[in-house]
Amino acid sequence: MKIVGMDAVSKFYNGERALDNVSLEIEEGERIVILGPSGCGKTTILRLIAGFIAPDTGAISIAGELVSRDGRIFTPPERRNLGMVFQDLALWPHLSVKGNIEFGLKARGIPREERKRKIREVLDLVGMAGYADRKPAELSGGQQQRVALARALVLEPRALLMDEPLSSLDLELNIRLRKEILRLQEKLGFTMVYVTHDRDEAADMATRVVSMKQGRIEV
């Protein structure tokens, strides 16, 4: 099944073209990597898929449903059932690890006992059992990364969007976490849309690499 369809999407910021007629189809279960230099439009693609912004022209569909077209959003982010790991992780500093993960579960009205079980399971999954009560500032970069991953995965998204999630880590940790993300993806089978500017990382993570340059997909 096709999870994401972008059809002739263009996006402008203050009259400047950030994306130029981008079409892209993402199949269920694939690990697609969007590769390109800073400023080429990678984050813009993820924000369009997630639903934080609308295309100025063109259309986007998620699992066969038209979610935005020509400047209008029909389905807001919280109804797209997608997970996002942001470049800066965007963990809430005032909440514990548990609180960060629980937030989305509460928003979905999941009852307390089930929330507790899901939090326990996902912390096990990312190797962070025992850290539930820490604040983000009390964790290393790699641990924060695992929490951001857990927070997204606990909601069982139909696709996980990851925006240069490892770029702030040193190379050794970066490579270790690549392996862990791949292990999780294999185990859980989620569709992955992974953004990076690093060729080696792209080759490691992808079942398919899409190269971008100046707002366009290169063929």
Ligand X SMILES: Nc1ncnc2c1ncn2[C@@H]1O[C@H](COP(=O)(O)OP(=O)(O)O)[C@@H](O)[C@H]1O
Scanning 38-46, 64-72, 105-113, 129-137 for contacts with ligand X by CB under 6 A, the matching segment is 38-46
Residues 6 or more apart whose CB falls under 8 angstroms from that of 125 comprise 150, 153, 184, 187
With CB cut-offs between 5 and 8 Å by kind, which of ligand X, Mg ion, none does residue 155 bind? none
Task: Say whether residue 40 binds ligand X (CB under 6 A).
Answer: yes
CA distances from 213 to 20, 70, 117, 163, 194 (A): 10, 23, 44, 17, 16
CA distance 36 to 126: 28
Find which of ligand X, Mg ion, none residue 39 binds, CB within 5 to 8 Å per kind: ligand X
With binding defined as CB under 6 A, does residue 39 bind ligand X?
yes
Residue with tokens 């449903």: 65
Q: How many residues does the chain have?
A: 219
Contact (Cβ atoms closer than 8 angstroms) between residue 27 and residue 2: yes
Distance CA 211, CA 20 (A): 14
Query: According to the binding rule CB under 6 A, does residue 196 interact with ligand X?
Result: no
Instruction: For residue 43, state whether it binds Mg ion (rule: CB under 5 A).
Output: yes
CB of 164 to Mg ion, least distance (A): 6
Residue 92 lies near ligand X (rule: CB under 6 A):
no
Closest contact distance (angstroms) between CB of 55 and ligand X is 13
Q: Which is nearer to ligand X, 52 or 92 (CB)?
A: 52
Query: 69 in helix, strand or coil?
Result: strand
Q: Which among Mg ion, ligand X, none contacts residue 14 (Cβ within 5 to 8 A by kind)? A: ligand X
Rounded Cα gap, residues 27 and 31, in angstroms: 9
Residues near Mg ion, by CB under 5 A: 43
Residues near ligand X, by CB under 6 A: 13-14, 18, 36, 38-44
